[in-house]
Amino acid sequence: MTEMVYGAVPERAGEPILPKWWRTVDKWSLSSVMILFAIGLLLGFAASVPLAERNGLNPFYYVHRQALFGGLAMVVMLVTSMMSPKLVRRLAVLGFLGAFVAVALLPLFGTDFGKGAMRWYSLGFGSVQPSEFLKPAFVVTAAWLMAASKEINGPPGRAWSLALCLAIVAMLVMQPDFGQACLVLFGWAVMYFVAGAPMVLLLAMAGLAILGGTVAYSNSEHFARRIDGFLNPEVDPRTQLGYATNAIQEGGLFGVGVGEGQVKWSLPDAHTDFIIAVAAEEYGLVLVLCIIALFAIVVLRSLVRLMRERDPFIRLAGTGLACVFGVQAMINMGVAVRLLPAKGMTLPFVSYGGSSLIAGGIAVGMLLAFTRARPQGQIEDILKGRGL
């Protein structure tokens, strides 16, 4: 009965790694991510050509780079998904320490590439955005601390995870990168809620977030400009939001046709933040709904599989990764249709960007590792292990 309810999978002694991985991994989520990457390449052929021409590069320069970084992301995802949860946790903690230091040093050694936000390190041949790697590493580290706090004589993991979260949010706000800061705070809040946090504390956190937004609006011209643009009932057709809105309206149900879209020639970020506008204009609502469905499959299937998981660390880490993945996609698409203020956030696996693609591969690889079917053990075994 326990195996029927919790989906336990019997161990097969001496089973090779690849067959075992293929038998236990969530193939629906894996396939959905690969299809999203394929769609991103397809859209890249249209969205990145104008940018390449403006920069005097080969028309498919950015498509080639997206294929390169995306291929590396797929390899990283597959390798990470084959790891044990314990190995994932150890590597994530080490990665968190490195990414945390990298984000902290951005004010000294980072660059803004003329975009008004100090988010990148310039490497000469490219750039890296450390906050992209910090997100999944923090989620796993915070989940480990929260799970450890539930053990007898365990450390005050919840308090430590909150302190780390606030430190990261403060560093991201200083860049400024309010979108990533909100994602980090959201990921922590979801895990804290699943770990059994009192509603009073969560409401207090929500109140602090609103207070922080008010302070940011009063003191940050960058933040205030984006909020004012979002609240303005009249959309300036010469802004990025104006171009994106018009492209989505022009696309209709089936789009204007492959290569016939015009928004890519007007939007400087058509291949990154507003890639969904290119999809809507050229392929219509049909492709947009397909993209939404693929993200929903990954998130919902992961959460369903995690509901059967008894290990608190795996359950918390997997839930945090799945929710951050889904919410980032919602924010990107919400900005394009003016449901949210502009945040400069990529659409996972679809938008162009080396850091985004590789960090996304790491995050989903971790999620696939946590959601692999594994023996859960009998209830009495768990009670004995806890000394109950």
Has residue 137 been placed in a domain?
yes
Has residue 224 been placed in a domain?
yes
* Terminal CA-CA length for the chain: 22
The DSSP line for 120-149 is BEE-SS-EE-HHHHHHHHHHHHHHHHHHHH
Has residue 257 been placed in a domain?
yes
- Domains identified in the chain, total number: 1
CA-based torsion, 172, 176, 182, 183: positive or negative: negative
State CA 19 to chain mean position distance. Answer: 28
Report pLDDT for 378: 43
Has residue 139 been placed in a domain?
yes
Has residue 202 been placed in a domain?
yes
Has residue 7 been placed in a domain?
no
Has residue 384 been placed in a domain?
no
Give the separation between CA 387 and CA 102, rounded to whole angstroms: 42
Give the separation between CA 328 and CA 346, rounded to whole angstroms: 8
Has residue 171 been placed in a domain?
yes
How many residues make up the chain in this entry? Answer: 388
Report pLDDT for 2: 37
Position of tokens 């490195």? 98
- Per-residue pLDDT of the chain in tens (388 residues, 90 and over written 9): 333 334 445 456 567 888 889 999 999 999 999 999 999 999 888 887 787 888 788 888 888 999 999 999 999 999 999 999 999 999 999 999 999 999 999 988 888 877 767 888 888 777 899 999 999 999 999 999 999 988 888 788 888 999 999 999 999 988 888 888 889 999 999 999 888 877 777 777 778 777 777 776 677 666 676 666 666 666 655 667 777 777 888 888 888 877 777 777 777 777 778 888 888 888 989 999 999 999 999 999 999 999 988 899 999 999 999 999 999 999 989 888 877 777 778 899 999 888 899 999 999 999 999 999 877 654 444 445 554 4
Give the separation between CA 274 and CA 115, rounded to whole angstroms: 16
Q: Which domain holds residue 31?
A: 21-376
Report pLDDT for 241: 73
| C-beta of residue 314 within 8 angstroms of C-beta of residue 366 | no
Report pLDDT for 124: 76
b/e per residue 314-344 (b: at least 16 CB within 10 A): bbbbbbbbbbbbbbbbbbbbbbbebebbbbb
Q: Which residues contact 220 (CB under 8 A, 6 or more apart)?
A: 176
Give the separation between CA 47 and CA 237, rounded to whole angstroms: 19
Position of tokens 């991510």? 33
Cα 58–Cα 59–Cα 63 angle in degrees, nearest 5: 100
Cα 183–Cα 189–Cα 191 angle in degrees, nearest 5: 105
Report pLDDT for 228: 64
Give the separation between CA 180 and CA 130, rounded to whole angstroms: 11
pTM for the predicted model, two decimal places: 0.88
Q: Given the DSSP bridges, would you call strands 127-128 and 121-122 parallel, antiparallel or unpaired?
A: antiparallel
Question: Three-state SS for 111?
Answer: strand
Give the separation between CA 222 and CA 270, rounded to whole angstroms: 21
Report pLDDT for 248: 82
